[in-house]
Amino acid sequence: MADRDRQGLRAILAVAVIAVCAAGLISASHEISAERIERNIAERMMQSLHEVLDPSLYDNDLIRSQVQVIDPDLLGTTDSVQVFLATRGGAPSAAIFASVAPRGYNGAIDLLVGVDAEGVIQGVRVTDHRETPGLGDQIEISISDWITGFDGTSLSDLPLPQWAVTADGGQFDAFTGATVTPRAVVQAVRDTLVYFDENQAELFERAAAAEADAAGAEMATVSDPARAPLP
């Protein structure tokens, strides 16, 4: 009877050990998977950012130097907008805005607008929209090169009244049968440039502080082995 009791106890202990090990493996697997997902998201984000800003124009960590700003009038939404601030050799070199064109034909149009420290557009891309296929969707770089017409433009080279589609007396072409969509994008890009011109100094000050905070947090994590990330 005692032998059977001991055998039963061993079986219970074995099951408990297996359960603990399985839980540990699941937890570790979850942490590794979450880390990989986070890394993949960061990589895709960097690919998108590089479509509107040449990597040679900066040498800092854009993710660390991002700030959140709110300006419904100029950035197209009451929500906070991400701004990625680029520096080279410690000096401000460019900014990328996740701006919104709120008056698209079928709703808001999400944009990335890259502008250098001189206020010159380096690139614009549409990241999300619901415009009509075959008409308004020509704002997509995969369908039309229309969006590249902003490259190299600035407020100093093109007065504000000219930041409009040709139907409104401006310099930017519209699409046949679809004026509302390009009008919305032109206005959003123009307003983003205005915001950058009015807030550039403050933006880069905030970015420097954000990058310093991120570096400090990373040093604190590395100094505490219990908080160090998995390899």
Euclidean distance between CA atoms 87 and 89, whole angstroms: 7
Please identify which residue in the block is written with the tokens 């007065």: 159
Q: Does 72 score more than 80 pLDDT?
A: yes
Q: What is the pLDDT of residue 201?
A: 93
Strand partners, 126: 111
Q: Is the pLDDT of residue 231 over 50?
A: no
Residue 38 reports pLDDT greater than 80? no
Question: Which pLDDT does position 12 carry in this prediction?
Answer: 57
Tokens of 134: 């075959």
For residue 76, which of 99, 105, 98 has the smallest C-alpha distance?
A: 99
Average pLDDT value over all residues in the chain? 84
Q: Which residue has better confidence, 36 or 226? A: 36
* Band (208; pLDDT cuts 50, 70, 90): confident
pLDDT-derived band of residue 18, with 50, 70 and 90 as boundaries?
low
The Cα 116–Cα 121 span in angstroms is 7
In tens, the pLDDT along 132-180 reads: 999 999 999 999 999 999 999 999 999 999 999 999 999 999 998 899 9
Reading the block at residue 78, the tokens are: 């009451």
151: closest CA among 189, 104, 101? 189
Closest by alpha carbon to 230, among 6, 1, 30?
30
Q: Cα–Cα distance between 158 and 156 in angstroms, integer?
A: 6
